[in-house]
A and B are shown apart, each in its own frame.
Chain A
Amino acid sequence: MAFYFAQLLTGMANASALFLVASGLSIIFGVTRVVNFSHGSLYMLGAYIAYSSMTVLPGIIGFWASILVAGLAVGLIGMIIEVCVLKPIYKAPELFQLVATFGVILVIQDMALLIWGPEDLFGQRAPGFEGVVEIFGERVPSYDLVLIVLAVVVLIGLWYLFTKTRVGILVRAATQDREMVSALGVNQSVLFSGVFFLGAFLAGIGGAAQLPKGSANLLMDFGILAPIFVVVVTGGMGSIWGAFVAAMLISVLQVYGIRFLPNSTLVLMFIVMAVVLVIRPWGLFGKPEAAGDHGSQGPPPKPFRQLDPSGRIIVAVIIAALTLVPLSGVNFLSVLFADIIIFCLFAASLHYILGVGGLVSFGHAAFYGGGAYVAALFVQYAGTPMELALMLAPLGAGFAALIIGWFCVRLTGVYFAMLTLACAQVLWSIVFQWDEVTGGDDGMLSIWPSAWASEPGVYYYLVLVLGVGGVLVLRAMAHTPFGYALRGTRDSALRTEAIGMNVKLIQWMAFVFAGAMAGLAGGLFVFAKGSVFPTEMEIATSFDALIMVFLGGVQSLTGPIAGASVFTLLQDWLSRFEYWRLLLGLLIIFIAILLPGGLAGAVDQVKALLGRAPKDEAAP
């Protein structure tokens, strides 16, 4: 009994940082509608800054002051990010801002590397709390108790702030309709910056407070993203109590999990989440997203047009040019262009649910990587030939999408997005932890094409046919009744249901279809590289796909193609430099600020300037 109690305390201590970071994310999203991908980076900075500050400020006071310093510094950094990066693009289409925050992740990653170096930095123990206390005869680190108290204090503080103070009421009002709040005399800019400060401050404190239990390292940023998304979704978006309870629940179960099912620790929290969401789709304390919130900005969705004759000619020319690539005799080009085509298919498949269906998935890599692993597993364990494996990849990925989609389409908006991310992490953790079958971190090697396609040039043609074919199928599917119905669910779910269509079923099927197409891209990828690693499934890969789609332009079927091509070329070119993440990150931020409509939007603008825009009728 005493043992379980001690374990409970350990779990609660682990939950502390998770709760702080997750509540910050939730608060920022609530008010500004920005899904701050860089929230994990702020947490990481909190740890690093606290480390540095502790080496400068000595002693007991130095330790505690350092935690506060880290919080304030990170809060300030958050504010700077808000003012410099996000402020210019609040008016961009919804969720576009996540592109910029992704750029911020890259920048912070390299800055941290530059300043603190690649080694893990171990923090000092908390002065006065180095030891253990005995509780019912079990030894519990006394610092754990400090962390638990910290979490509770923050919880009460936030609760008081949001329910009892005028500022809290304003923040909650702004969460629903920030424009109206400003028309009632509240300075929106200050409110947004303030909220960003608070959210970042919490992340910084979280990072600093866990330092005595761990280290400051460069993997912290992505490492905590999935757990905080899980906490926010499980607890219910925007609910501080929810974040607290979910963080506790998940951390405590994790601690027991390590004891009893050591191989399933990563999956465990996702199972908790799945169970909660089956029973309560909006999380423990969450409420359904209000329909038609007034906060959303940006232009109304544009119709997708069939290509005009000149567009068709351009596409034909591009395809013709692509067939010439292997003839150049430069193998490197065939490899690069095969990559580009594969990513185009991957991005186009994401665009099918994101652009056509309006469902933003943060976890699309699950199906891309899933397809890759399905193909690789069949080749490795069943000796399946490449041709068959390439068919099984989309089937396998589609099957995964069938199951994951069933959970996800019950939700909408950011809930949907976060849940897809969390589900993708489940698949990732299975692949990562199931060493015996998947090779874990070491990946699966020697998955080569059949003999006839083993030349890079020949395999390139295979990629060209299947990749371009896949993209064209996706395009065609946007113009079928099903594609229209899907677009209908995006424009007005209310209307779609009111003309007798089953919105959820349509979304589910679209999710499966997009998953299968991503699986095809994944299958093509394995045989192109000859290997597959868990990285193909990880969050960063999902984010890459999102960046491609948003950079290219959500409102056009050509957008993802342009985005994938540009992004892949950029990455290929920049990765020769030492601090390429920094460069890429800055570039992404600049593009996001300068071209809020994506590349496709920019092309339209140029056309408009040249006076050959597809004439929109003027409003009556």
Chain B
Amino acid sequence: MSFLTVQNLYKSFGGNRAVDDVSFALAKGELLALIGPNGAGKSTCFNMLYGILAPDKGSVCLDGRELIGMKPRDIWRLGVGRTFQITAVYASMSVVENVQMALISHHRKTFSAFTRAARLYRDDAMALLNLIGMKDQADRAANILAYGDLKRLELAVAMAHDPALLLMDEPTAGMAPGERRALMKLTADIVAERGVSVLFTEHDMDVVFENAHRVLVLNRGQLLAEGSVDDVRANPAVQEVYLGGGTTFGGDGDHA
């Protein structure tokens, strides 16, 4: 049964049809990769799913509820988490406080004026940090974290309200190859454990081929191909517009 259904999504900027009749579905617990050339419309799709851009036409249903027209924060409350391509964390707070903020919001304690924020939900936050293996860094300032750790912190923050769907736009951008694979492995483990569905975009084919359950290929705003990792890799059209000769990424198992 599909959990997220996207139907006939359109968006154009001026004359440029950035997203042109895109439909797909995502099942519970599935890790779906959205790939495609630069300018294919992936980020535009994401922004429409998350309420940042209004589509010209189309519908996005999460568990039977229409998301189009909702504000990002309301979509978040429905149980959709997201990470950012350029990390967005609270630089002036510690690692654990960053996670606590998400919990405070989730428990609707934002406007409570008679408690100290530093004490609220600290244990829950520590449990989440434990999950991503950053417990020992809990009290470090977020602005001095290594990049890979920042990305993991973002994952913890996105997981704080126990989302059912996670949207990740280029989650491993800017990371070292080893860390990329570690992060996606971690994500895949969490997904398997908690039954979260994930939709992500990525230009690192090592990451995609290793972890995705299914792959969608977007080109010039339209769906070009869809299927298992092997199908997509072998698809000549995809090779032509996107994968190229395969010299810039390894195969799966190449360096495992």
Contact = CB atoms under 8 A, between A and B. Distances in A.
B118 A479 contact: yes
Contacts of A502: 73
Interface stretch (A175-183, A186-194, A300-308, A431-439): A300-308
* Interface size class, chain B: 35 or more
Interface in B71-105: 72-73, 76-77, 82, 84, 86, 88-94, 97, 101-102, 104-105
B77 A500 contact: yes
Interface string B136-150: 000011011110000
A499 B146 CA distance: 23
Nearest to B75: A500
Nearest to A487: B92
Interface in A437-475: none
Interface in A469-521: 477, 479-485, 487-488, 490-492, 494-502, 506, 509
Given A500-B73, A506-B110, A488 B91 contact: no
A318 interface: no
B115 A480 contact: yes
A157 interface: no
Contacts of A496: 101
B112 interface: yes
B113 A500 contact: no
Contact of B110 (A300, A481, A491, A498): A481
A321 interface: no
A484 B93 contact: yes
Contacts of A477: 113
Contacts of B140: 617
Nearest to B73: A500
A482 B111 contact: yes
A620 B140 CA distance: 11
Contacts of B118: 479
Given A499-B105, A500-B77, A620 B88 contact: no
Interface in A585-620: 616-620
Contact of A494 (B76, B84, B144, B157): B84
A496 B102 CA distance: 8
Contacts of B93: 303, 484, 487-488, 491
A497 B50 CA distance: 11
Interface string B206-243: 00000000000000000000000000000000000000
A502 B72 CA distance: 10
A133 B113 CA distance: 67
A300 B89 CA distance: 12
A364 B105 CA distance: 29
Contacts of A484: 93, 97, 101, 104, 117
Contacts, number: 106
Given A481-B120, A501-B110, A506-B110, A495 B160 contact: no
A303 B144 contact: no
B65 interface: no
B151 interface: no
B114 interface: yes
Contacts of A619: 144
A500 B109 contact: no
Interface in A74-121: none
B112 A300 contact: no
Contact of A492 (B89, B109, B117): B89
B57 interface: no
Contacts of B120: 481
B163 to A, nearest CB: 11
Nearest to A620: B146
Contacts of B112: 480-482
Contacts of B185: none
A505 B208 CA distance: 39
A480 B116 contact: yes
Given A480-B112, A481-B120, A499 B102 contact: yes
Contacts of A487: 90, 92-93
A490 B91 CA distance: 10
Contact of B89 (A304, A495, A620): A495
B113 A509 contact: no
Nearest to A495: B88
A302 B92 contact: yes
A497 B140 CA distance: 24
Contacts of B146: 620
B160 A499 contact: yes
Contacts of B111: 481-482, 509
B104 A485 contact: yes
A68 B93 CA distance: 54
Contacts of B91: 300-301, 491-492
Contacts of A617: 140-141, 144
A303 B91 CA distance: 8
A500 B105 contact: yes
Contacts of A490: 92
A483 B112 CA distance: 10
B101 A485 contact: yes
Nearest to B120: A481
Contacts of A492: 88-91
A488 B90 contact: yes
B161 interface: yes
B194 interface: no
Nearest to B86: A292
Contacts of B104: 481, 484-485
A352 B157 CA distance: 26
A498 B166 CA distance: 12
Contact of B92 (A304, A480, A501): A304
A597 B199 CA distance: 44
Interface in B122-166: 140-141, 143-146, 157, 160-161
Contact of B76 (A300, A491, A499): A499
Contacts of B89: 491-492, 495
A485 B73 CA distance: 14
12 contacts: A301-B92, A480-B117, A481-B104, A481-B109, A481-B120, A490-B92, A492-B90, A495-B89, A495-B90, A498-B84, A500-B105, A620-B144
Given A480-B113, A487-B93, 17 more contacts: A301-B92, A303-B93, A303-B141, A304-B92, A479-B116, A480-B116, A481-B111, A482-B112, A484-B93, A484-B101, A487-B92, A491-B92, A491-B93, A492-B90, A499-B105, A500-B73, A500-B77
Nearest first, the 4 A-B pairs at minimum CB distance are A495-B88, A484-B117, A301-B92, A491-B90
